[in-house]
Structure 1
């Protein structure tokens, strides 16, 4: 297969499509969760509860922990593109990237006012690890990334708990989750905003740290950067072989990991051993399943000259990922929270999936319209403009 090198404008289409697909999955998951206002209606007829459970289980199996991981991987890829473009212009991008992460922190604070499940703050902080590793060799970066993905902190906690029976692991995010839930279900708009300034963010970010996402996100950022370096999102003999290898290896690895995740925890009596064990296995199984999804998606794209129609259909959604990520939360909380339509009380999985698809279609249509008139989404434009403030635009 002798494929010409793609133009830069074409090269990112598969990435934009994949990012749009990941964001769609995130929207569906957030709607199922009522944007962290968990409530399962018990007044539905039994047959409808069974259908709800079926869809809940399917969506969570396919996308929970995988959509976020895909988003994280592509964040690292985007860093490489920006770093590479700046280097071609003779610009050291590292300082600008640090400033860019501060700007992302500001976006996170705006987003967190509405929704207490923000991931942008985590990205803004963890993204800084790309600065010291961006000039290291591929093998070194790969070794660091794999080490982080193995969850070394959780291994340490698990081993310590195994030899120290009195060691107790507690979920420190729970009190903040309870407080946040009370406000989002019953509070006014201003009460929710005030709660999210502090309590909501403690809930969200402590949970992310305790769920192993700190190390996982750093590792995914680095792997995404390596995918950019190795040009694996460009169609070639090498990239096709690599993605086929990843797909096959992922399927082989996922089966035992899934069994370890489902069957082993019941036999672990010490909860302080079980908690880190569960985090490790869940993190690894999600990572492997994410690799299966990404490789399958990319190989499907490569099968056609410019991807399938359904893949191209979601490209605008991925191109405006920051705008759509923030605005889907603003729309969603207004639908489910107590100060809005308060639909968390009466919507099961089927209803929330329909709402999620509606939000997605509305945002997709807006994205297509906006990008027909502008090169970037509103928040993407502000982010880029502020990133290069005081410097000639590249």
Structure 2
């Protein structure tokens, strides 16, 4: 159904910013590389670093993902969400129509996230994005410099507090951290129980386990994730409102400088984190684990910005640009592909599917990710040659705008 004349409606394909779709496709690959481990490892161990059971090529693969992918692509994906908000608000202003549409958009995303967590994977990020998106809208139309300052400031403060908390816990005597050791035993028991359910349970048993994991791990983590996502959203909005993403060829010098500044800084913080450790005994090593996490957070944002800059620079390079453009269809269907990745992984690893829980090493997981993603890239190109939106993107727009958009080309 076509939009009414003058109505605030979904953006036409020709009006999209091509660079954003390419970067979104690139981020989608990194997200899958990071997430797949947690379809075959207890969710209670998230944050404890590299699996101590990994050895040989599996440990090498785990180390590479931990150092160069984990956390960085989550930030990159968050930057893109903020950019999408800026594009949408630029078209719709901050009037009542925009606010109603964007609020419905976030509520629909929250519903998608909760269903994703219960039916496919408890590590969902969409629910946190939905809440942060509503907070971003509530901030209203603030100056672009204020966006930049708030984005960097909030992110840096949260990361620094994590570093300080970890450092303080690291120097406390063992008697003062005895409660953490007790909590570690409870976490180990919960992880073992969850692993049994995921490996052997039927579908509804796994659904109940996902609900427990989401309530006990993901929701408490949202206290940190939501404000960090909000801060990165503001940086993404700043990038679009500053005009950097609209004419990337004219901004090549700026992106080159961004890469030169952010990549060394990010690698320095990541190196400090790795020096503290890459694997921890959960709650029993809460101090070092928090310290390493905080340092990694300080490295994640600059590295994500560096990755963004490198992709944009690649888009201005003949040959490399043609290769990167293959990612654009997958990026245009990012929501559909994100959920499809969870469907594939949960079917492969959980007991109600092929039951491969614990049987595929980290190197095998990486190969699987590249194979599935290559198929997604091809399938996304095929789909978008026939339809205007991905299936979930079409539903999302319908729920947000209140009118069913035309699907077929």
TM-score band by shorter chain is 0.7 to 0.9
CA distance in structure 2 between the partners assigned to 1:41 and 1:346 by the alignment: 15
Report the alpha carbon displacement of residue 288 of structure 1 after superposing the two structures with TM.
Answer: 1.6
* Native 8 Å contact 1:176 1:199 kept in 2: no
Listed as ranges, the matches of 1:64-79 within 5 Å are 64-79=70-85
Partner of 2:237: 225
**1:216 has 2:222 as partner:** no
Q: Unaligned 5+ residue runs, structure 2?
A: 1-11, 44-49, 279-283
TM-score by length of 1: 0.83
How far apart in 1 are the matches of 2:137 and 2:172?
38
2:24/2:80 contact within 8 Å kept: yes
CA shift in 2, pair 1:258/1:30, >3 Å: closer
- TM-score, with normalisation over the residues of structure 2? 0.80
Could you tell me how far 1:41 is from its partner in structure 2? 11
Q: Is the 8 A contact 2:248 2:312 kept in 1?
A: no
CA contact (8 A) 1:77 1:224 kept: yes
Tell me which of 147, 159, 162 is aligned to 1:154.
162
Q: Which blocks of at least 5 consecutive residues in structure 1 are unaligned?
A: 1-6
- What are the superposed Cα offsets for residues 231-290 of structure 1, whole Å, 9 maximum, x if unpaired? 212335762232122111113313431332133579xxx966544433321101111221
Matched, 1:131 2:137: yes
Call closer, same or farther: CA 1:75–1:35 in 2, change over 3 Å. farther
Aligned residues: 375
Change (3 A) 1:201 1:359: farther
Assess if the C-alpha contact under 8 Å between 2:162 and 2:290 holds in 1. yes
Rate the CA distance shift 1:139–1:41 in 2: closer, same or farther, 3 A. closer
| Cα distance change, pair 192–8 in 1 and its aligned pair in 2 (3 A) | closer
Does the 8 Å CA contact 1:35/1:329 hold for their aligned counterparts?
A: no
Change (3 A) 1:107 1:238: same
Contact 1:316 1:368 in 2 (8 A): yes
1:99 counterpart residue number? 104
Give the Cα separation in 1 of the matches to 2:248 and 2:127. 36
CA distance in 2, matches of 1:208, 1:265: 24
Residue 154 (structure 1) shift: 3.0
1:59 aligns with 2:65: yes
CA contact (8 A) 1:250 1:292 kept: yes
What is the CA RMSD across the aligned residues, in angstroms? 3.4
- The 2-side partners of 1:262 and 1:68 are apart by 19
